[in-house]
Copies of this chain bind each other. A is one copy, B any other.
Amino acid sequence: MTEATNWQAALQSVLTERISLAPGDLAGHAHDEGVPFTSIPGAVVFAHTEADVLATLAVARDFGIPVTAWGAGTSLEGAALPASGGISLDLGALDSIADIDPVGFTVRVGPGVRRVALNRRLRPHGLFFPVDPGADATLGGMAATNASGTTTVRYGGMRENVMAVRVALMDGRVLNLGSLARKSSSGYALKQLLIGSEGTLGVITSLTLRLHPLPPATVSAQLAFPDVAAAVSASVALRGLGLTPERLEFVDADTVAAVNRHRARCDPELPTLWVELAGRNTADAEAGLTLLREVAADTGGQVVGEARTPEAQSDLWAARHGVYDALRAAWPGHSTRIGDICVPLSALADTVEFMALTLGQSDLTAPLVGHIGDGNLHLLMHAPPDDSGAWARIDHALHDIALYALSVGGTCTGEHGVGLRKRVYMREEHGEALDVMRDVKALFDPQNLLNPGKVVGKLD
């Protein structure tokens, strides 16, 4: 019997049928949607209760075995992948939805609840949880990576919309961080510290979320611009006019062309914005649209699509949401890797220009989409999986672009998290603060067992 078998046996003795050593389960917890493969866990625990989480941490502590929390596996940066084996702690079954409070605008959920299911439950109450990273991620995973997305321009990301978390620490304590109050000046913001820590400081076992009323009316519009700078100007001008869109998305000209080919559309193949505006009622939303048309005209753009009904809006947004599928259709068999920088709004146009230049110099093409109201840009890099030359050029280009984002005061990851691949930028982005982050890690997890090596982990 090896030591590995000892800890597996210890897990089996306390968690019985909730632990799996089946090769399929192990392999299923060794890749996500962005990182093909790292290290296979030695066991998967399918936790159903907080007690299961605590029992897992106790075994991990006793045997010195790493524990990496797992939600839905939708990470693009390997956040939930074990860096060096150990236990994959699957929280998907902690999926209760409780205490929907339509007066206090709150709900309490398990970390395994997925956002689409949550919003389905909230809709009859006239409420929704706005953070939308695209993937049908778990709320626990979204909190762990401080996820955000298309609606963040209006509602903020997870840090603004998680009111409280319950967190199991490595030493067996369970902390309640935050409260049901909408604001507080009480004590240190440990809740914010846990959000975005990617399971390296503790395991979230429950979240209380801040809800929002469903907008009474919405309209959507698609706007085409002669160049990227004009599209950026329009998005800034919108804000100055007191219009805060529900969503404000950007796609570059080549990508519109790719979507046209894939979906047999004939949208103008120009830099394009998709905008969703909400109103107190239809007339109010329409008035916002009128102002939007004026902004477009002032910046040399034009409204090329408008949608009012849910069906029409779904169709209009399909072009924006179809980017990934268009990419897969245009380059069948290619693997993808998605860049994720966020820059100051005042650096957006220059950043897009730098990206185009970098791609050109590297003999690469890549669709560019962005949550432009936040300055968050994604390049959808792609190449055949085995074309090592192309992947080297992709690595190099994304590296240059990440450093560029830092040089203009931005961040190496706007919303996807650090995971395995962004650790290389932590020193450049955070300077000596990285040392303090490592001290904080050591404080919460002195044995370095919680998702070890991630976020602030030292590079090999």
Which residues on B sit within 8 Å (CB–CB) of A376? 181-183
Contact indicator B280/A291 (Cβ below 8 Å): yes
Which residues 144-168 in A have Cβ within 8 Å of B in the complex?
145-148, 152, 156-157, 159-160
- Does A310 have its Cβ within 8 Å of any Cβ on chain B? no
Chain B residue nearest to A373 in the complex (CB): B182
A408's closest neighbor in chain B, by CB? Answer: B180
Interface residues on A, range: 35 or more
Cβ of A345 and Cβ of B186 under 8 Å apart? no
Q: Does A307 contact B (CB under 8 A)?
A: no
A95 at the binding interface (Cβ < 8 Å) = no
- Return A267 CB to nearest CB of chain B, in Å: 27
Task: Fill in one digit per residue for A333-356: 1 if any B CB lies within 8 Å of its CB, else 0.
Answer: 000000000111111000000000
Is A432 an interface residue when CB atoms closer than 8 A count as contact?
Answer: yes
CA distance A57 to B255 in the complex (A): 54
Residues from chain B with a CB closer than 8 A to the CB of A103 are: 236, 345-346
Q: Are A101 and B346 touching (Cβ within 8 A)?
A: yes
Q: Does A66 contact B (CB under 8 A)?
A: no
Identify which of residues 402-452 in chain A touch chain B, using a CB-to-CB cut-off of 8 Å.
Answer: 405, 408-418, 422, 425-426, 429-434, 436-437, 439-441, 443-444
Quick one: given A213-B239, A433-B175, are A188 and B181 in contact (CB under 8 Å)? no
Chain B CB within 10 Å, residue with most, of A189, A195, A284, A345: A189
The answer to whether A443 and B433 touch across the interface, beta carbons within 8 angstroms, is no
Query: 1/0 per residue A100-120: CB within 8 Å of B?
Result: 010111100000000000000
